[in-house]
Amino acid sequence: MKVTVARKAHFNSAHRLHNPAWSAEKNLEIFGKCNNPNYHGHNYDLTVKVTGEIDPETGYVMDVKILNDLIKNEIEARFDHKNLNLDTVEFKNLNPTAENIVVVIWNILRPLINNQLELKVILYETERNFVEFAG
Amino acid sequence: MKVTVARKAHFNSAHRLHNPAWSAEKNLEIFGKCNNPNYHGHNYDLTVKVTGEIDPETGYVMDVKILNDLIKNEIEARFDHKNLNLDTVEFKNLNPTAENIVVVIWNILRPLINNQLELKVILYETERNFVEFAG
Amino acid sequence: MKVTVARKAHFNSAHRLHNPAWSAEKNLEIFGKCNNPNYHGHNYDLTVKVTGEIDPETGYVMDVKILNDLIKNEIEARFDHKNLNLDTVEFKNLNPTAENIVVVIWNILRPLINNQLELKVILYETERNFVEFAG
Amino acid sequence: MKVTVARKAHFNSAHRLHNPAWSAEKNLEIFGKCNNPNYHGHNYDLTVKVTGEIDPETGYVMDVKILNDLIKNEIEARFDHKNLNLDTVEFKNLNPTAENIVVVIWNILRPLINNQLELKVILYETERNFVEFAG
Amino acid sequence: MKVTVARKAHFNSAHRLHNPAWSAEKNLEIFGKCNNPNYHGHNYDLTVKVTGEIDPETGYVMDVKILNDLIKNEIEARFDHKNLNLDTVEFKNLNPTAENIVVVIWNILRPLINNQLELKVILYETERNFVEFAG
Amino acid sequence: MKVTVARKAHFNSAHRLHNPAWSAEKNLEIFGKCNNPNYHGHNYDLTVKVTGEIDPETGYVMDVKILNDLIKNEIEARFDHKNLNLDTVEFKNLNPTAENIVVVIWNILRPLINNQLELKVILYETERNFVEFAG
């Protein structure tokens, strides 16, 4: 009898989509205006879901305050008001597409959450584009 | 070939998180400001999803007006403008965490919906915290 | 290691729910005000999700610009600012319930998207009613 | 010391923009796809604001339940699940642009609300287009 | 050349509408289910707007971080996870209607904000009901 | 009898708050993480409102398609997927605070819109911070 608990958060970052193995022309062709050399940015909206049994003593699957602190300390502190390409180790050599960002966030959070809980991460890059990853 | 039909609803309730088996100190430590003795409250946003085959005569999986009436009569009438701890039998002896509320709602609705239809309930306690239960 | 990429779009259409095999009375009884002979309408909000592996060269599961173009050319161009019952071949003989619309959209998009990618379509008829179909 | 009280509501209608004094070509040129002869439709989101002094006995400027009933009986009953051009007297000879609709709604409500209260109406035709009228 | 800067915040409270000068019957007649003796609750969404000249050195009308701290310290700390009727001095003898709450918030904030800046407060009690006060 | 017509749009940009006349310490003290040398970014949501008389022939205050084209050509083309500090002439020597951006946008649009129409611009930098300017 598994219940899912979810918490939303957000961070505001600059990024640029770029593959250094390609020519400038190919980068522009594939990534279009997202390849702008001087970066652009987004308000990223993040939802983190954990799924598991309800603890009968607390009535919680996981204390959402603890989940929220994890997101603040591990994700917001790392990416908020940062340039993903220049200011983070995670995207020094990894193209910061929404797909890659959502996998990176899942990989950061997975070892920090009880492994009896399933983990899913949803990331909105804009109100109209979003990605999901569940491992 | 299963399609999901969903209906959103809402109710506004007071509640308090509290485990009577614990000391006041432990309740405060675990539940924080949600343990306030005089209660606080939320606008709960509810989504009920049913999944099944489309009836070829109506083009419906389930008539959403009927689903809406069920939610109004069974969930809103029970919980809207109520104190969950004091005014309901469901939470007289059950801590009204979002997790427990979503399971209670699912258990109320399950016998009232055709058992060939799958049922999932999503409950937003705030815009940033939500829970899901599918049995 | 599958990631889901989603894109939102919308179209504004008129429609009428009606089963020509039924009497006027039965149509009114089942479909209520949705059976209005002169039609009514909605702002349909559409989410299209594709799920698959991340291409290591692009960092994309599927280029969301290509997905967006597909939705514009195949769905919006067909249904936006149209009367679903009168102006489309899809609903000439099919009742345009939300359930039938979401299946029609999925069937239009499925052959146009790489068959190694899973496809799911979500359609909001109003802010409070929505349907989902994944094949 | 005036306070504004606002209530949101909605209705779903079909409509067509058309000026019968113009040629078909001019109608198409000016109104584009909104001129589709078979109509299209919208989920209209309506906000009604009344502004005045707080009644010290009730703490209300105007009882929002009464305002809500007015909107339901006078606006939703008239326009919801209707074809604005064909099913309403208001738009028999008036082009149902968002601007004209918002003025019509204001004119319906104005005599029904205490004339010591100011009245403003906001109407969303889509999530991205809206109009406002305050007399 | 005045610009408005706005900041959104929220708090979750229990409350009950009640006029102690009236009979129980009259309270129930006027306030309906909002008169429930055991309280109900809301997620209040608050927008605070300040209007004034842009400081040419900072490019700010008012530093939104300072505005945010004011809202957190003066409004959220006072009302969040509280019972407005029982836990606050402001509503000990004042009916906590949305109208009265928005005026109370404005009166708390007004002396704390530079008096060359205009102040307006908007308070959503539910997604569909809101109030505004500008002094 | 003036009606307001509004159109929403958006653009995604990188920016950095910085006053070159100040020391690095003072910039950090005043602008905090918004002073990050490598930039951060936002999804800016823009609402443009024009107010005037309804043209009796069209039923429009201003054709929203024309307003939308103006916003696309003059605002989105200039700022979308750009670094406001590095890629635009407007913010080469002007700190790109939300306040300054909203005034710049108003100044770009004002001469392009019929001067019998009033103009107001609203800009959301995040879901919780926004600014307004009406000249």
pLDDT recorded at residue F61: 98
Q: Domains in chain A, ordered, with CATH?
A: 2-133 (3.30.479.10)
Q: Which segments in chain D show pLDDT lower than 50?
A: none
Q: Is residue C40 among the annotated active site residues? A: no
Mean pLDDT along residues C60-86: 98
pLDDT value of residue E83: 98
Q: How far is CA F96 from CA A42, B85, C73, E58, F122, in A?
A: 15, 50, 37, 10, 15
Distance set, CA D57 to CA D30, E25, E34, E94 (Å): 53, 15, 15, 10
Predicted-complex ipTM score = 0.95
Helix ranges (H only) for E21-134 are 24-31, 64-70, 77-79, 84-87, 98-109
Whole-angstrom distance, CA of residue F135 vs CA of residue E78: 37
E strand or H helix at E94: none
Task: Name the pLDDT band for C82 (thresholds 50, 70, 90).
Answer: very high
Nearest to F103 among E3, E8, E57 (CB): E3
* pLDDT, position E15: 98
Q: Which of residues 40-69 of C touch D (CB under 8 A)?
A: 40-43
The pLDDT tens digits of the residues spanning A18-76 come to 999 999 999 999 999 999 999 999 999 999 999 999 999 999 999 999 999 999 999 99
Q: For residue A5, give the chain B residue with the closest CA.
A: B131
Q: Does D103 touch chain F (CB under 8 A)?
A: yes
Q: Which of D39, D42, D127 sits opposite C39 (nearest CB)?
A: D39
Mean pLDDT, residues F72-83 taken together: 98
Q: Where is B10: in which H helix or E strand?
A: strand B3-15
Between chains, do E128 and D9 touch, taking CB under 8 Å as contact? Answer: yes
**E-state strands within chain A:** 3-15, 40-52, 82-83, 118-124, 129-133
Active site residue C81: yes
Give the pLDDT of residue B128. Answer: 97
Per-residue pLDDT of B19-78, as tens digits, reads: 999 999 999 999 999 999 999 999 999 999 999 999 999 999 999 999 999 999 999 999
Distance CA B36, CA B58 (A): 50
User: Nearest residue of D to residue E101 by CA position?
Assistant: D59
Question: In the predicted model, what is the mean pLDDT of residues A123-130?
Answer: 98
Are B and A touching by the rule of 3+ CB pairs within 8 Å?
yes
> pLDDT, tens digit, for every residue of F4-35?
999 999 999 999 999 999 999 999 999 999 99
What is the percentage of chain F residues whose pLDDT exceeds 70?
100
Residue E62's pLDDT is 98
Helix boundaries (H) for D1-135: 24-31, 64-70, 77-79, 84-87, 98-109
Interacting residues of A25 by C-beta distance below 8 A, sequence separation 6+: none
Q: How many whole angstroms separate alpha carbon A91 and alpha carbon B14?
A: 45
The Cα–Cα gap between A99 and C59 comes to 7
Q: What are phi and psi of A133, to 5 degrees?
A: -145, 135
Please state, in angstroms and as integers, the Cα–Cα distance from residue E25 to each residue in D64, D66, E29, E31, following that order: 19, 18, 6, 10
Q: Which two tokens mark F1?
A: 């009898």
Cβ distance F34 to F84 under 8 Å? no
Question: B41 vs E40: CB contact, 8 Å cut-off?
Answer: yes
**Residue F16 identity (one-letter amino acid):** R
Contact B120, E72 (CB under 8 A): no
**Which pLDDT value is given to residue F29?**
97
- Read off φ and ψ for residue F18, nearest 5 degrees: -165, 135
| Positions of chain E with pLDDT lower than 50, given as ranges | none
